[in-house]
Chain A
Amino acid sequence: MRAPADSDSAVTEALLSVENVSLAFGGVKALSDVSFDVRKGEIRAIIGPNGAGKTSMLNVINGFYHPQEGRITFKGETRARMRPYVAARGGIARTFQNVALFRGMTTLDNIMAGRTLKMHRGIFWQILRAGPALAEEVTHRHKVEEIIDFLEIPQIRKIPVGRLPYGLQKRVELGRALAMEPDLLLLDEPMAGMNIEEKEDMSRYILDVNNHFGTTIALIEHDMGVVMDLSDRVVVLEYGRKIADGTPDEVKGDQKVIDAYLGVPH
């Protein structure tokens, strides 16, 4: 349970709100009528047993899946369906369950790729590379090096990411998402497959990102300890439906949630 922050008491507006979203693949209903919001500056956890539709929810927010029903409101704009490019432009960044890094490129290039939206020099200057294009590269390289220092990975800068161990790959992926300087950061099981130390490191990074940069974070996580410690509020999904929504303590004691995790038929 983390120390109360200023934002807890004040009623902050919702950065993202999801209304009545339903998503189906053929006959399989991934999400049914799910609604919740994510307030600016908070850390929101999305939890639930396997197959609950958590990753599908993130995919809908990103614009990768298009829901059959429902709306998404991000930064005040409401859409029936998001598009990936629009989401990225709007300030949504994301990590994936099965690390989606660019395996042919080094750590540095992967994180630099995250700066693409911020780089504007056209093909003419790119051809020459000297002058404005090079200056732009150097500026963004500074930023990327800051992220590399923050995530404590300077020694693997030039290594192709395909060769890195899983835990480091997840960190690089976080770095790439951070490079986008997002308003909303979606993390899909950032702690999966990590040992205690790695989890502590990752939790520290997530908290720092939230405190320092004020980035709003929505994360999917299975480790209950992490969820209770990190998050401000929690949403619980089961079989594509929302069954609980509130602070970690409220949700912990909710009988429906306990039943869902223990597998009590209902």
Chain B
Amino acid sequence: MFYREAGQFKTTYAADMAVFPVLQDRIGIGVILVVAFVALPLFGNDFLINAVMIPFLVFSLAAIGLNILTGYTGLLSLGTGAFMGIGAYACYKLTTIFPNVNILVWVIASGCFSAAVGALFGLPSLRIKGFYLAVATLAAQFFLQWCFIRVPWLYNYNSSGAIEVPQRTLFGLPVTGATATATTRYLVVLTIVVVMTWIASNLVRGRIGRTWMAVRDMDIAAELIGIRLLQTKLSAFAVSSFYCGVAGALMVFLWYGGAESEVFDINQSFFVLFMVIIGGLGSLIGSFMGAALIFILPIILRAAPEALGLPLRAATVEHLTFITVGALIIGFLVLEPMGLARLWQVGKQKLRVWPFPY
């Protein structure tokens, strides 16, 4: 009885096509945003913000990026880790060469670099499809990871091969480097993620999103209604890599504070892919859900046995995480291939008719 659309009539097409047409949804989003922007910084502890919320947001952004490529356009990519890395290293170089420019500008610019490289590695997609394209993205992943190690210019010839993030400020407050507080960093990341999610939802609901989905569903028919395949696929690669690049820059600059090339290896690519699969291919809200599940899982696996008095070694937790994730992937694909997002939709449907069964 709470979630009824009765009485909410749309009088314009614009209202019908809005992101959250139902009033209750709008209220819900409003509440979430208030909690995220206000309640958490005021009441949350540093651990929650630093070790849970910031990485959750960063990975959600990367998952949105991969979802655009794999979920909306149907191009399987195993190069997510590398594209995140490009964003991180590009941001690092830009800010060390031009330290006086606002760091946010460089974060966005590094996304553009990532987009360019993504489009480049997306060129083969005109000729190559399906599994074969996945192998092409593997080429990108391994080649770029090799570059991160073998091109010392990228990490400013640092002898350890790692990059360390210099301090940068925003409106006078330090946002990167050792002195930046968790809350400041969290608010910056939150703002960027909210804005970019809004942009992504605009893109997928409009002309460009439809061309992506058309190419995914039947590219032959898409061609015959006038959609240019190469441009559509390249735009998917470019936008997707932009998101992954920004996520990578945020990860290094506003979370870890530094990075080595291992951070952007193929396991990273797989983990983001698992977030997308579990969350739901082709769903923005699914990206958030999938990131939450995959990310929260190791924390639960460590905390729960401890609470029961059987603490586990860190390595064991990692192994259990792999086992659980693997099983979850298979489980979701068998039971609900459209992921958590679909379960959420079904849940909302039941909520619509509650307390009646149907």
Contact = CB atoms under 8 A, between A and B. Distances in A.
A129 B213 contact: no
A96 B210 CA distance: 20
Contacts, number: 97
Contact of B226 (A103, A126, A180): A180
B205 A129 contact: yes
A87 B224 CA distance: 8
Most buried by A among B202, B213, B225: B225
A94 B13 contact: no
B347 interface: no
B353 interface: no
A63 to B, nearest CB: 8
Contact of A138 (B14, B207, B211): B14
A88 B207 contact: no
Nearest to B202: A129
Most buried by A among B208, B211, B213, B224: B224
B217 interface: yes
A113 B203 contact: no
B116 interface: no
A100 B226 contact: no
A119 B207 CA distance: 7
Contacts of A138: 12-14, 17
B176 to A, nearest CB: 26
Nearest to B207: A119
B346 to A, nearest CB: 14
Nearest to A186: B224
Judged by DSSP, the binding face of A is helix
A102 B206 contact: no
Given A102-B218, A141-B17, A142-B13, A114 B203 contact: no
Nearest to B201: A129
Given A64-B220, A104-B217, A141-B17, A85 B228 contact: yes
Interface in B265-324: 282
B203 A116 contact: no
B223 interface: yes
B333 interface: no
Contact of B216 (A84, A100, A101, A104): A104
Interface string A13-53: 00000000000000000000000000000000000000000
Interface string A140-166: 011001000000000000000000000
Contacts of A112: 210
Interface in B178-237: 199, 202-203, 205-208, 210-211, 213-214, 216-218, 220-228, 235
A126 B225 contact: no
Contacts of B205: 129
B206 A137 contact: yes
A116 B210 contact: yes
A129 B13 contact: no
Given A105-B210, A105-B217, A176 B225 contact: yes
A121 interface: yes
A167 B46 CA distance: 59
Given A105-B217, A121-B207, A133-B206, A116 B13 contact: no
Contacts of B222: 102, 113
A113 B206 contact: no
B203 A102 contact: no
B282 A104 contact: yes
Contacts of B227: 113, 116
B218 A84 contact: no
A184 B228 CA distance: 20
A113 B225 contact: yes
B202 A128 contact: yes
Contacts of B208: 123, 126
Contacts of A94: 224
A88 B224 contact: yes
Most buried by A among B210, B221, B226: B226
Given A100-B221, A117-B225, A126 B206 contact: yes
Interface string A77-114: 00000001101110001101000111111000100111
Nearest to A119: B207
Contacts of A100: 218, 220-221
27 contacts: A64-B224, A85-B228, A88-B226, A100-B221, A101-B221, A102-B213, A102-B217, A104-B217, A104-B282, A105-B213, A105-B217, A113-B210, A113-B225, A116-B225, A119-B207, A123-B208, A126-B203, A127-B202, A127-B203, A129-B202, A129-B205, A133-B202, A133-B207, A137-B207, A138-B13, A141-B13, A142-B13
Shortest 10 CB-CB contacts between residues of A and residues of B? A88-B226, A129-B202, A102-B217, A117-B226, A100-B221, A84-B223, A141-B13, A119-B207, A138-B13, A113-B210
